[in-house]
C-alpha cells in the first residue's frame, strides 16, 4: 500500500537547488522517512533518512515538517548527474520492508 505521494516528474536548472516534495500524512510515530534515488540502468542508492529532525549529509538535506506529514529533499546545487528517479519511503527502522512506489523523475536541465 502506498504510504507516500510524490509528483511524477520535475525539472531543475543545473546549479540551482532541487526541492523534491513528499506527502506522508499517515506516517506513524515510529516510522522514519527515507530517500533513495535510481539513476538509469542502476539499482537504487540510499540518500538520507530522518525521524523528525532535519538532516543533512554530503548528498542532500531532508526537511521534515513539524507534524511529520510531509518532507522535502533538497539537492543544494543540482548537476546533470542528479538526473534520476527519487523515491520517498516511510518505514520503521526495523523490518526493512520498504515500499518504493514510482517516485519522482527529476531532470536536471543544462
Q: Applying CB under 8 A, does 32 fall inside the site for another protein?
A: yes
Q: Applying CB under 8 A, does 34 fall inside the site for another protein?
A: yes
Q: Cα(81)–Cα(70) distance, rounded to whole angstroms?
A: 26
Q: Cα(80)–Cα(99) distance, rounded to whole angstroms?
A: 27
End-to-end CA separation in angstroms for the chain:
36
Output 57 or 65, the one with its CB closest to another protein.
57
- Answer for which of 10, 52, 101, 105 binds another protein (CB under 8 A) is 101
Residue range at the interface with another protein (CB under 8 A); choices 15-23, 31-39, 53-61, 73-81? 31-39
For 68, the grid coordinates are 511529520
Q: Applying CB under 8 A, does 9 fall inside the site for another protein?
A: no
Amino acid at each position: 500500500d502506498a504510504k507516500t505521494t510524490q509528483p511524477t516528474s520535475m525539472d531543475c536548472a543545473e546549479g540551482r537547488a532541487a526541492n523534491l516534495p513528499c506527502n506522508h500524512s499517515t506516517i506513524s510515530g515510529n516510522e522514519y522517512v527515507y530517500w533513495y534515488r535510481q539513476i538509469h540502468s542502476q539499482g537504487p542508492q540510499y540518500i538520507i533518512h530522518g525521524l523528525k529532525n532535519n538532516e543533512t549529509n554530503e548528498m542532500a538535506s531532508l526537511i521534515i515538517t513539524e507534524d511529520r506529514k510531509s518532507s522535502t529533499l533538497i539537492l543544494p546545487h543540482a548537476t546533470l548527474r542528479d538526473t534520476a528517479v527519487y523515491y520517498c519511503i516511510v518505514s520503521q527502522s526495523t523490518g526493512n520492508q520498504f515500499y518504493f512506489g514510482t517516485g519522482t523523475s527529476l531532470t536536471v536541465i543544462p
